[in-house]
Amino acid sequence: MEPSNTTVKRVSSGVWALEQEIVRCFLIVGQQRALLLDTGAEACDLMGMIREITPLPLVVLNTHGDGDHTANNNQFRDIHAHPDEFATIRRFRPDLTSTLHPITALSAFDLGDRVLHVIETPGHTPGSICLLDRKNRILFSGDTLSYGPVFLCGEHRDIHTYRETLVKLMTMGGFDTIYPCHSTCPVSLSVISALLAAVDGALDGSIPPEPSDIPTPDGLTPMVYTVGKCGILY
The mean pLDDT of the chain is: 95
pLDDT of residue 5: 87
Positive or negative, the CA dihedral 225, 70, 10, 117 is positive
Residues (pLDDT < 70) of the chain are: 1-4, 215-219
Sorted by where each begins, the domain ranges of the chain are 7-147+172-193
Task: Tell me the pLDDT tens digit for each residue of 154-195.
Answer: 888 999 999 999 999 999 999 999 999 999 999 999 999 999
Distance separating alpha carbons of residues 82 and 217, to the nearest angstrom: 23
Bridge partner list, 120: 129
- Beta strands 177-180 and 138-142 are parallel
Q: If DSSP codes are grouped into helix, strand and coil, which group holds residue 117?
A: strand
Positive or negative, the CA dihedral 189, 190, 191, 197 is positive
pLDDT of residue 212: 87
Q: CB 102: neighbour CB atoms within 10 A?
A: 13
pLDDT of residue 2: 52
Q: If DSSP codes are grouped into helix, strand and coil, which group holds residue 233?
A: strand
pLDDT of residue 155: 80
Amino acid at 97: T
pLDDT of residue 213: 81
pLDDT of residue 189: 97
Q: In what order do the strands lie in the sheet with 210-211?
A: 150-151, 230-233, 223-227, 210-211
CATH architecture of the region 7-147+172-193: 4-Layer Sandwich (3.60)
Distance separating alpha carbons of residues 202 and 163, to the nearest angstrom: 11
Contact 98, 114 (CB under 8 A): no
Q: Which letter, b or e, does each residue of 85-94 get, where b requires 16 or more Cβ atoms within 10 Å of its Cβ? A: bbebbeebbe
User: What would the 3-class secondary structure string for 20-60 be?
Assistant: CCCCEEEEEECCCCEEEECCCCCCCCHHHHHHHHCCCCEEE
Phi then psi for residue 203, to 5 deg, are: -75, -35
